Amino acid sequence: MTVREVVTVPDPVLRKKARIVTKFDEKLQTLIDDMVETMRLAPGVGLAAPQVGVLERVIVVEYLENEEDEELEDASEAPKKLYTIVNPEITRKSSDVITGIEGCLSVPGYNGEVERHLAMTVKGQNRYGQPVTLKLKDWTARIFQHEIDHLNGVLFTDLATRIWKPEGPVEDKV
């Protein structure tokens, strides 16, 4: 596995729509393995292929199984769940939304408040091309929405009601 460079703004690849994956070959497997390694080293909870300069519809997400585990003294020991989804598509969204704070490896040094659906269903394929359907809620749903946005050239800063640098003052988005 190879750690890839994370593309940051204003790189134009982040604004392009990613292509549907049709070949589940060795090249795709290498991309997925590299994305997982890159996400973990960053460290992040999700990564989309355009963030490593590849315009293909692939995302990886890894988070703590139990959100209470985040409060453990050594959360690195808590069990994590890894998802690899190819050609993800949101097929259902709850009408309930919630505003939360997001950051992004491709927009380093900034956070923002973003409204997201509380629950949703995602359909796609696993790394081998087999169909997958996921029912997601809360934090997991937020991560998936953020990563799927990357596949469509959308950054969290486009959706944020407020954007700020954590060490600096809060600025209202105009």
88's CB contacts (< 8 A; 6+ apart) are: 57, 59, 122, 123, 124, 144, 147, 148, 151
Compute the chain's Rg from CA coordinates. 16
In sequence order, what E strands does 68-118 have? 80-93, 97-103, 111-117
| Phi, psi dihedrals of residue 33, rounded to the nearest 5° | -60, -45
Cα 147 from Cα 171, distance rounded (Å): 24
* Set 37, 147, 167, 171: catalytic member: 147
Assess whether 147 carries a catalytic annotation. Answer: yes
Catalytic machinery residues: 147
